[in-house]
Structure 1
């Protein structure tokens, strides 16, 4: 199978933000094939921001953010004429490194800063002030597969974990057949070809966190931005894993939901009440369990373990949250002014178009917290 080693890179202008697409295309525009029309309601409110400050802003990070930031920048420019954001969708790991090296004004990441070395480096970059993780869009991750003759596959976390760590090796394994909803499927005696992200990725981190939290001990490989399953082949960025999965038959990967189309299919996920389709409405049900790692502060990193391990009926639990990582206090007030304006627009006017694209806009309660944090940036 031909693996895409690199998708090259860089998006230059105003392009990339929060949740589910990737470099070089506008997959969100085609989400309707995999998403329900019953999208979760967008939060209310319009931006009331003070325009100006540094122009253009520079940012880098998650390739899963591209289409959403395109939307955010469009809304930002409509509100603040002439203002721009240059975003390089180089991946979450690269974005955090560039932010911590003081090379960009903010970073986009599919996972919050890790406590310890990563968070300490961010604090040093912010001249001793805390760096905050601000979630702006929530989006599902698909466990996507290509298997001739199988149009509707259901997986649970335990079986998914065993596939991605190599314990389950063929599609006709009895454990797959035993998942509720698969009883009547004819599954071939074909090797399972696992495709993972070869670059550092917040999508990988969230996927492995889900397996760790929900697989009842089947996943012991840990989490992090590098895939640790030890099987299969790797490809760079979201487009890369999709192209690799489409190149063969019997493949399986994990990818932002807007990519699970045109040749690969998203599996239904069973958390105990039967297979649940990947739709914005079903993802929104999972947010009921959301809590924050630092309750009562302006750092809004979510504790996702409760979501991943939830057995809420009808809820799709495998999701990622894309954060904008910012300094709580910038040493340049012009940077702070522009960052506050951009994020204020993204959290309000920028949310409504996301719903039309099949994403899951932040709920009203989270929007209120994000705006409070944005206003507190100095």
Structure 2
């Protein structure tokens, strides 16, 4: 079903009647996908309910659908408890957390060292904030090429397509990536997201890590490839790709599922990999942490540059930013209860919303950090 957002703040009161939305980082959410193919996680943990009745969270709209699922499960597990999530964007999430308005901030990127970490330390009464990667959503490379439903691309070829160096579907490099099979001699029409987008930033970070010789444009929330046409939001990208032959774009997986778009396989060096819950989960399972202690900042460069077999490394991670210490006792108790539910039993509801349920190994890392919040 398609859920429209009414108002800036959406109260997530979990009484079992809340409809679940799919992943998206704009103001439109697609219908829930047809399932990720990943087995539902079985992890669970003891939840110490209580504390603050109404938690406040704000930030990345890419995790909006996941937060709906988490809130529903939280309310079922802890009767009378609820969380209100405002999907206002990562920048606002950090600002509202650091300003003491939000108990939890949601961001597609960890706190930046310096101004942001300093402000967070002040907000947390002298103790550091932690970045906890709780939500993972794959980024798909959808295309429309009449008569073709199976396309494999390498990171280098993707980079060259999105800089305009590869211009036609029958280019020799695309033919080579597809085992010598030539695709139709049609021009490639690149579609990218207009304005600032965490999905764009992660896609460009991926290309910089996986294809450094072919993508020298850098990263950032604005598309810097220098070719193609823009579309409004993730829904606009998916709709534009679906509407015209020869198109290609990048978008959160749930939007590609919603429009039933063909998605390119990616060959990072160990064979073509189809995007699925299993292959994205394999990448998450092997993700390395570069933060210290319970500050679980991911080494995205290593993740994106991975050449592991049967692994789809192009995934977007959303962090929950929390105080390691510094909450009042009621807030700390409720934050820990919510995050415990979100990291364990609530993960089983994510697959149909276009996200990847956390592997048990990653759940364990998160639970260790959550238990340490004081």
What's the counterpart of residue 61 of structure 1?
A: 59
2:144 touches 2:261 (CA, 8 Å); kept in 1? Answer: yes
Provide the rounded CA distance (Å) in 2 between the counterparts of 1:347 and 1:233. 38
Provide the rounded CA distance (Å) in 1 between the counterparts of 2:156 and 2:312. 15
1:61 touches 1:91 (CA, 8 Å); kept in 2? Answer: yes
1:333-348 matches, within 5 Å, as 333-348=329-344
1:174-323 matches, within 5 Å, as 174-181=172-179, 183-201=180-198, 203-261=199-257, 262-295=259-292, 297-323=293-319
What's the counterpart of residue 31 of structure 1?
A: 34
The range that moved more, 263-272 or 231-240, is 231-240
Provide the rounded CA distance (Å) in 2 between the counterparts of 1:91 and 1:16. 21
Structure 1, gaps ≥5 residues long: 1-6
Q: Give the Å deviation of 1:62.
A: 1.9
1:95 touches 1:107 (CA, 8 Å); kept in 2? Answer: yes
1:145 touches 1:250 (CA, 8 Å); kept in 2? Answer: yes
- The total of aligned residue pairs comes to 363
Where 2:321 maps in the other structure, the secondary structure is: strand
Where 2:141 maps in the other structure, the secondary structure is: strand
Alpha-carbon distance change, 148 to 124 in structure 1, aligned in 2, over 3 angstroms: farther
1:364 aligns to 2:368 (yes or no)? no
Q: How high is the TM-score relative to the length of structure 1?
A: 0.86
Where 1:292 maps in the other structure, the secondary structure is: coil
Give the RMSD, CA atoms, in angstroms.
Answer: 2.8
What's the counterpart of residue 152 of structure 2?
A: 154
What's the counterpart of residue 52 of structure 1?
A: 51
1:118 pairs, out of 113, 116, 141, with 116
Q: Give the Å deviation of 1:99.
A: 2.5
The range that moved more, 331-340 or 271-280, is 331-340
Provide the rounded CA distance (Å) in 1 between the counterparts of 2:226 and 2:122. 34
The range that moved more, 235-244 or 339-348, is 235-244
Q: Residue by residue, what CA displacement relative to the aligned partner does 1:303-323 show, whole Å, maximum 9, x if unpaired? A: 122222122122112112221
Q: Give the Å deviation of 1:167.
A: 2.3
2:34 touches 2:352 (CA, 8 Å); kept in 1? Answer: no
1:102-113 matches, within 5 Å, as 102-113=100-111
Alpha-carbon distance change, 239 to 92 in structure 1, aligned in 2, over 3 angstroms: farther
Q: Residue by residue, what CA displacement relative to the aligned partner does 1:259-302 show, whole Å, maximum 9, x if unpaired? A: 1132522110001122110011112222353211124x111111
